[in-house]
Amino acid sequence: MKIWISALLVLLILFAPGAALQAQGAELEEIFVFKATVETRNDTLHWEYNSPSAYEFHQGDTAFHDERAVKEVKEIYEKLQPEKGVSKEELAARLLKNGYADLERLDVRWQNDQGELHTWIWKKTPSS
Strands across the sheet containing 117-123: 62-64, 54-59, 44-50, 33-40, 103-111, 117-123
Question: Looking at residue 78, what is its pLDDT?
Answer: 97
Buried b (16+ CB within 10 A) or exposed e, 37-50: bbbeeeeebbbbbe
1 in any annotated domain: no
21 in any annotated domain: no
Binned at pLDDT 50, 70 and 90, residue 26 comes out as confident
81 in any annotated domain: yes
54 in any annotated domain: yes
9 in any annotated domain: no
State which residues form the domain around 45.
27-123
Average pLDDT over every residue of 25-49: 91
Q: 79: alpha, beta or left, given left = phi > 0 and alpha = psi -120 to 50?
A: alpha
15 in any annotated domain: no
Confidence check: pLDDT of 67 > 80: yes
Percent of the chain at pLDDT above 70?
A: 80
State how many domains the chain has.
1
Confidence check: pLDDT of 37 > 90: yes
7 in any annotated domain: no
Question: Looking at residue 3, what is its pLDDT?
Answer: 55
19 in any annotated domain: no
Binned at pLDDT 50, 70 and 90, residue 126 comes out as confident
